[in-house]
């Protein structure tokens, strides 16, 4: 049962509190907190709020659940967005920042494989990456990460991280696969805005098709949704 938030600010404050509590608890219990981040404007505001919190920054490892095929200093880069919103403002060791190694001089498949190797090194010995938390947004087409409708990454059952051709953008994206997201201990969606109502309805329905509504592939442990994104 989803308990929607009346305002976007309430959603962001609740998500920031939950993130802070989880990070502190995991660092206390296991000495580290691994989180996979999402792009998008809804997640971005959360990152801005986290920058003002007192978190165990040296023990948090930051990964990206998806990335665009652009340099890290490009306006469309999810790395740049997170750096501007959060990482440039806190004392986070460089070795804890695990950015997707986008390199336009090489095939996207190579960059995806390199990142997958970095994930497999961090989660050594695991059959899948066991994130403490995966944060996800949702597009109005019900995509999440860069798992877009009718794209090849949706059917990937073995790989952790892949390049994904997205026809609607005539561009490659990089994304975690559904199995690599679903292996996390916590998976949170952050969704807001009336434009997401149709997507949310299909994602929550019993019988719709994941190829068309990719967020259906994900098994979230928690929803942070504003009431305007839910059909009344």
List of residues contacting ligand 6PG (CB under 6 A): 38-43, 66, 78, 137-139, 143-146
Name the residue nearer to ligand 6PG (CB basis): 69 or 146: 146
Question: What residue spans of 159-215 are helical by DSSP H?
Answer: 178-182, 197-204
Name the residue nearer to ligand 6PG (CB basis): 28 or 74: 74
Q: How far is the CB of 43 from ligand 6PG (least distance, A)?
A: 6
Q: How far is the CB of 145 from ligand 6PG (least distance, A)?
A: 5
24-to-34, 54, 55, 98, 124 alpha-carbon distances in Å: 12, 10, 7, 20, 23
Please give the Cα distance from 152 to 91 (Å, whole number). Answer: 38
Name the residue nearer to ligand 6PG (CB basis): 39 or 59: 39
Let me know: does 197 contact 135? Beta carbons within 8 Å.
no
Q: Whose CA is closest to 18, among 41, 42, 50?
A: 50
Q: Which two tokens stand for residue 213?
A: 């509504």
59-to-23, 36, 80 alpha-carbon distances in Å: 9, 14, 21
Q: How far is the CB of 184 from ligand 6PG (least distance, A)?
A: 15
Written as one string, the DSSP assignment of 30-70 is HS-EEEEE--SHHHHHHHHHHTTS---GGGEEEEESEEESS
Q: How far is the CB of 120 from ligand 6PG (least distance, A)?
A: 22
Q: How far is the CB of 208 from ligand 6PG (least distance, A)?
A: 18
| Residue 232 buriedness (CB in 10 A; 0-12 / 13-18 / 19+) | exposed
Please give the Cα distance from 100 to 33 (Å, whole number). Answer: 19
Q: How far is the CB of 170 from ligand 6PG (least distance, A)?
A: 15
Q: Which position's Cβ is nearest ligand 6PG?
A: 137
Beta bridge partners of residue 162, listed in sequence order = 175
Name the residue nearer to ligand 6PG (CB basis): 40 or 220: 40
Q: How far is the CB of 122 from ligand 6PG (least distance, A)?
A: 20
Half-sphere exposure of 187 (CA within 13 A, CB side): 21
Name the residue nearer to ligand 6PG (CB basis): 27 or 178: 178
Name the residue nearer to ligand 6PG (CB basis): 92 or 138: 138
Name the residue nearer to ligand 6PG (CB basis): 59 or 223: 223
């Amino acid at each position: 049962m989803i308990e929607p938030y009346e305002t976007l600010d309430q959603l962001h404050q609740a998500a920031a509190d939950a993130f802070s509590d989880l990070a502190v608890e995991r660092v206390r219990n296991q000495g580290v907190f691994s989180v996979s981040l999402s792009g998008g404007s809804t997640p971005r505001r959360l990152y801005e709020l986290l920058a003002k919190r007192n978190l165990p920054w040296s023990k948090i490892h930051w990964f990206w659940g998806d990335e665009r095929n652009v340099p890290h200093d490009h306006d469309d880069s999810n790395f740049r967005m997170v750096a501007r919103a959060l990482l440039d403002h806190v004392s986070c060791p460089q070795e804890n920042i695990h950015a997707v190694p986008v390199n336009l001089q090489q095939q996207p498949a190579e960059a995806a494989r390199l990142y997958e190797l970095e994930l497999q090194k961090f989660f050594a010995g695991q059959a899948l990456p066991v994130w403490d938390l995966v944060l996800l947004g949702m597009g109005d087409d019900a995509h999440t990460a860069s798992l877009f409708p009718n794209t090849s990454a949706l059917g990937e059952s073995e790989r952790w991280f892949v390049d994904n051709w997205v026809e609607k953008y005539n561009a490659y994206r990089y994304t975690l696969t559904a199995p690599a997201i679903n292996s996390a201990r916590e998976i949170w969606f952050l969704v807001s805005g009336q434009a997401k109502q149709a997507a949310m309805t299909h994602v929550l329905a019993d019988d719709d098709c994941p190829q068309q509504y990719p967020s259906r592939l994900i098994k979230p442990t928690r929803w942070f949704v504003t009431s305007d994104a839910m059909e009344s």
